[in-house]
Structure 1
Amino acid sequence: MARYRAGRRSTLLLLLLLTLSGCSHFLTRPEAPMVSLNNLQLIEATLFEQRYLLHLRIQNPNNFALPIAGMRYRLLLNGREFATGVSRDLETLPAYGEQVVAVNIVSNLLRIYEQLRNPAESDSFSYALEGSISLQGLGPALPFSQRGELSMKPR
């Protein structure tokens, strides 16, 4: 009987260790995906609101897949908020993989007016893409930020 209990405990301990080792990457916070601006396309413009299709390149630096539940993001031009958006039901990002996703982003007349009222005094403008990615069942959202500058000079 004692031998049976010892064998049973060993089996339970082995199963517990296997379970924990299989889920070990979920016990640590994943490294945030790298998100960059790939393209911005106007899809609809009304007097008060403009809708754009924002193409984002998302790269997973982790050695395990990231099941993306949703994203929130905003685009700033020359330090001013230009457009914002949220998206859900995105695909799982494979380990060390990347994908380009198309998401909606919305601006309004006031934001456009702010950009036109204070035009850049140089031949370039700065942009920033900021936001966070929520993972299905994996704790707090992972923030991302990318900054850049675009030249308006003809080449």
Structure 2
Amino acid sequence: MQRRPHCGGATRTWPMLIVAAVTACSTMPKDFETPKFGIADIAPKDVAVFEQRFDVQLRIQNPNNFDLGINGIRFQIDLNEKEFGNGMSGQAVTIPRFSSEMITAEVITGLGGFLRQMQEMSASATKLRYRLKGKAFAQAPSNFTIPFDESGEIDFNLAPPAEK
């Protein structure tokens, strides 16, 4: 009968080391400020009966004193408090400290959301409220997720103000 060496202590140590390594790699850097995410442009890509695809340009502003590497983003766009579509991008970008960069993402919307938005926009609305919420996946200076929830308003009333 062959006897195996006892490795009980080593067996318990490995899981703790793995947890410590994952935790160390997935935490936000000290003094991290959440970047600002905004919609810069929306352009139709493919309009079909049941599904519409749009290319959306997102601006990411880095308020931190270090470069921020992002290797993916997942988000939802609401227009006038109604869900418009969901988007994602695997585009990798490094945003220099105190700077901004653009990424392009694909947004997919269904027929109902698309028709609802077209109806509201054709009702002579001059302002469009949007909400952009989701997660960005950082890869530098360490691996962690960045939740975001931004909102804004686009004013389509381009007429000059009336003189008094």
User: What TM-score results when the alignment is normalised by the length of structure 1?
Assistant: 0.72
After superposition, give the CA deviation of every residue in 1:4-26 in whole Å (9 maximum; x if it has no partner). Answer: xxxxxxxxxxxxxxxxxxxxx96
Structure 1 residues without counterparts, runs of 5 or longer: 1-24
Q: 1:153 aligns with which of 133, 157, 161?
A: 157
- Conservation of the 8 A alpha-carbon contact between 2:68 and 2:97: yes
Q: 2:138 aligns with which of 122, 135, 138?
A: 135
Structure 2 residues without counterparts, runs of 5 or longer: 1-26, 160-164
1:60–1:75 CA distance, 2 compared to 1 (3 A): same
1:55–1:79 CA distance, 2 compared to 1 (3 A): same
1:48–1:140 CA distance, 2 compared to 1 (3 A): same
Partner residue of 1:61? Answer: 63
1:103–1:116 CA distance, 2 compared to 1 (3 A): closer
Partner residue of 1:8? Answer: none
Alignment-mate amino acid for residue 131 of structure 1: G
The alignment of Structure 1 onto Structure 2 pairs a total of residues equal to 131
Alignment-mate amino acid for residue 149 of structure 1: E
Alignment-mate amino acid for residue 149 of structure 2: S
Alignment-mate amino acid for residue 72 of structure 2: G
CA RMSD of aligned residues (A): 2.4
User: What TM-score results when the alignment is normalised by the length of structure 2?
Assistant: 0.69
Percent identity reads: 29
- Conservation of the 8 A alpha-carbon contact between 2:53 and 2:106: yes
1:126 aligns with 2:144: no
Q: Distance in 1 between matches of 2:28 and 2:128?
A: 40
Q: Per-residue deviation at 1:149?
A: 2.1
1:117–1:38 CA distance, 2 compared to 1 (3 A): closer
Alignment-mate amino acid for residue 79 of structure 1: E
